[in-house]
Amino acid sequence: MREQTIGGPIEFTGVGLHTGENATVRILPAPAGKGIIFRRVDLDNFELRADVASVARVAYATTLMSRGVWISTVEHLLSALYGMGIDNAYVELDNFEVPILDGSAIPYTEAISRIGLVRQQRNKQFIRITKEFVLKDGAKKLGIYPAETFSIQYDINFPHPLIGKQSLRVPLTGSNYAEAIAPARTFGFYNEVEQLQSAGLVRGGSLENAIVLTETGMLNDTSLRFKDEFVRHKILDLLGDFALIGQPVLGRLVADRAGHALHTRFVAELLESPTHWVVDTLAAAPVSAR
């Protein structure tokens, strides 16, 4: 299996969920072996690699930072690139925060599907999980287990009539990401909006880019895209944070009520635990000694 990049540039303009500021993001082809590189075009094309070493802040969104330059709310964009199997791309941004668009990853996946992918002259380097790796934080739990393909299972439990207990396992192969995960939107609770806004958050939030839950239902007058849209969005977010591993993975990822902080800590600690994985190009049949 070869590395892939995007077939040509795609561009999106919109408001940032937390800053409320407008930004334009362009995704462009990049050479094999490059990874995902953000460029702040408003700051002399300052480059910032999408990897776990760049994670700066993880409250309510994932923010990357290098030498004082920030890029905020990267998780939906990174989720789409990882979910669509893009290994290399430049992501140009003219502001601090990636636009939230409709709160899901579907604008990205539709545009990527239209423009297509290009196979490159380099074998994909998979991280193959060889021994389970589990992190817990109170009731939150995140683990990865050996498997021949990549899949995510997520369990959530919110005391809300539209949510409650939701559990879903999705093999991230073929078109599953684009169909089952990408359309799921961000959600938040109306009674937290004021408090979040006074903390400088969700200033760009609206019914156009989030499901806003009241005590008994939701403010949006559209219907849910899936009955379990909430757990699907948690999978979307987890994949966006997991993308910071920088390589495709062979393993079964299982999350129970996790969040951005545990997701990113998990990626960092997994990478620092090389007795739990090997790098594999799938170029030859797996050796039985593994």
| Residue whose CB is nearest to Zn ion in the complex, by number | 237
**Helix (H) or strand (E) run with residue 201 in it:** none
Residue 237 touches Zn ion, criterion: CB under 5 A? yes
CA–CA separation, 16 and 24 (whole Å): 10
Look at phi and psi of residue 257 and say left if phi exceeds 0, alpha if psi is from -120 to 50, else beta.
left
Of the candidate residues 73, 88, 186, 209, the single one contacting Zn ion (CB under 5 A)? 186
Residue 8's Cβ-side half-sphere holds a number of Cα atoms within 13 Å equal to: 5
* Distance in Å, CB of 113 to Zn ion, minimum: 21
Which residues, 6 or more positions from 195, have their beta carbon under 8 angstroms from its beta carbon?
none
Residue 104 touches Zn ion, criterion: CB under 5 A? no
Look at phi and psi of residue 174 and say left if phi exceeds 0, alpha if psi is from -120 to 50, else beta.
left
Total residues at interface with Zn ion (CB under 5 A): 2
Q: Which is nearer to Zn ion, 237 or 280 (CB)?
A: 237
Q: In a 3-state reduction of DSSP, which class is residue 289? A: coil
Q: Which is nearer to Zn ion, 129 or 236 (CB)?
A: 236
* Distance in Å, CB of 62 to Zn ion, minimum: 9
| Both structure tokens of 165 | 């207990």
* Distance in Å, CB of 76 to Zn ion, minimum: 6
* Distance in Å, CB of 186 to Zn ion, minimum: 5
Residues with catalytic function = 260
Q: Which is nearer to Zn ion, 265 or 276 (CB)?
A: 265
CA–CA separation, 153 and 222 (whole Å): 27
Q: Which is nearer to Zn ion, 25 or 250 (CB)?
A: 25
User: Residue numbers of the site for Zn ion (CB under 5 A)?
Assistant: 186, 237
